[in-house]
Structure formats: C-alpha cells, structure tokens
Chains A and B, each alone.
Chain A
Amino acid sequence: DAGVTQSPTHLIKTRGQQVTLRCSPKSGHDTVSWYQQALGQGPQFIFQYYEEEERQRGNFPDRFSGHQFPNYSSELNVNALLLGDSALYLCASSSRAGTGTKNEQFFGPGTRLTVL
C-alpha cells in the first residue's frame, strides 16, 4: 500500500502565476481533504472532496479551487499567487464508507510551495 502520495515535492512560482498540486489517496479511500500549513503554524483546512464534489470549505478565497477525479485522486489549484500562499500543502485521504476508522484522515508528505 503506497499510502497517500503528492506531487510535486517542491515548487517555486512567482506572484500572479497559477499552480496545480496533485494528490493520490490511500488505496480504498474515497475522500480527499486539503490543508495549508504556513511556516510555524498548524495546518488549516482548505476544502474536502467526495464523489467529485466539494463538500466542505474552510476560510479560503475563491482563488483556491479543486477537483476530484473518478479514481478519487484530486488536484488543488491556486490562481493569482500571492507571497502569503507560500506554505506546505498537505493532502489527507479518508473513507466515508468504512467503520471503526471511518473518517480517520491519513496525510501525505506535502508539497512545499514557494512564491517569489
């Protein structure tokens, strides 16, 4: 079991550009959540995808958008990048259908985004 994977590992962009981050969930999981972790802070919830729809959203602007594919993988898109978007972006997967560990979120290693 490969666990949750994310790509790329690191990314450098300039202000105003757009970026796409990718996440493949753990085998058997159908739900993907995205978090932003700024330096020295705890992760902040961005949004969650299930059945290819955005189900929950945190306090992030519309510049942050996402997508979930039929194979449950997901993308996070950020438009018009700002310096403040520099952070570690974490993807977490979970299963809505399971019991016991239902909804337990497993985290990937993250993508480090630097905006110059």
Chain B
Amino acid sequence: GDSVTQMEGPVTLSEEAFLTINCTYTATGYPSLFWYVQYPGEGLQLLLKATKADDKGSNKGFEATYRKETTSFHLEKGSVQVSDSAVYFCALFYSNRDDKIIFGKGTRLHILP
C-alpha cells in the first residue's frame, strides 16, 4: 500500500543554518505530495505541494522537489529562523481517488537562537 517515511527527529539547528528533512514515499499510483507544518498547540497548515514529477513546491523560503526516480520529496530551507520551530509532516494524496491524506510520522524541528 501507499506510505510515507520521513527522517526521525528531533532535528536541532542553529539560526541561519541550512535545513534538509528527508521524505520518501511508496505509491501505487501518481499522488500529489505535500509538506504540512504544525506549530505548538495548533492544527496543520499546508506549507507547500507538488502535483507531478519534477514539480517544485515552494513557500516561505522552503522548497521541495517531487522526484519520481528516487520516490522522494525532501524539504529544504537555506536559512532557518527560530520561528520555523515546529513539527513537519510529509504526506501524499490522490486527488482523483479516495481523498484521504497519508502522512508520515512527522519531524520535530528545534531552531536555537
């Protein structure tokens, strides 16, 4: 079946460091891929998405590229801020199928000032 695997956290970085959170997926079809962010005490917010192979999603300085050949969707940011501290979830979704989002387990990110 379909699944998402992401690197375990917590990930601790200093402010202005480069961030990579790895995400790989197993899919029976051609899903859309997402990164969601969850700030403390809040629900999920869509951070970025890509709907087909080689698409790059970007938002707020974060980027991820849909790599079909490596079944990956790694999240990157060139210079993180303390305000980026949150839990990040990689997810897949079939918009023309059953509408349920399949999430990874999440990666907690701590940014030190």
Q: Nearest chain B CB to A44's CB is how many angstroms away?
A: 8
A13 CB to nearest B CB, Å: 20
Interface: A42 (CB within 8 A): yes
Q: Count CB-based A-B contacts (< 8 Å).
A: 55
Instruction: Please tell me the number of chain B residues within 8 Å of chain A, measured between CB atoms.
Output: 21
Kindly identify which residue among A4, A42, A45, A90 contacts B100, using a CB–CB cutoff of 8 Å: A45
**A31, B95: Cα distance in complex, Å:** 13
Considering the complex, give the chain A residue whose CB is closest to the CB of B41. Answer: A109
Q: Shortest distance in angstroms between A29's beta carbon and chain B's nearest beta carbon?
A: 12
Report yes or no: A48 in contact with B106, Cβ–Cβ below 8 A. no
Check A103 against B43 for contact (C-beta < 8 Å).
no
Contact of B101 among A40, A102, A105 (CB under 8 A): A105
Decide yes or no whether B45 CB sits under 8 A from chain A. Answer: yes
**A residues near B4, Cβ cutoff 8 Å:** 42
Given A40-B105, A41-B106 in contact, is the A48-B99 Cβ separation under 8 Å?
yes
Given contacts A90-B43, A107-B45, A110-B43, contact A33 B104 (CB under 8 A): no
The smallest beta-carbon distance between A60 and chain B, in angstroms, is 12
- Closest Cβ of chain B: how far from A91's Cβ, in Å? 9
> Are B99 and A43 in contact (CB-based, < 8 A)?
no
B105 and A33 contact, CB distance less than 8 A: no
B69 CB contacts on chain A under 8 angstroms: none
Give me 14 A-to-B residue pairs in the complex whose CB atoms sit less than 8 angstroms apart, sorted by A's number.
A4-B43, A31-B99, A41-B105, A42-B4, A45-B100, A55-B99, A56-B98, A56-B99, A90-B44, A92-B101, A103-B93, A104-B46, A106-B46, A110-B43
Q: Chain B: residues with CB nearer than 8 A to chain A?
A: 4, 36, 41-46, 89, 91, 93, 95, 98-106
* Chain A residues within CB distance 8 Å of chain B: 4, 31, 33, 35, 40-45, 48, 55-56, 58, 90, 92, 94, 102-110
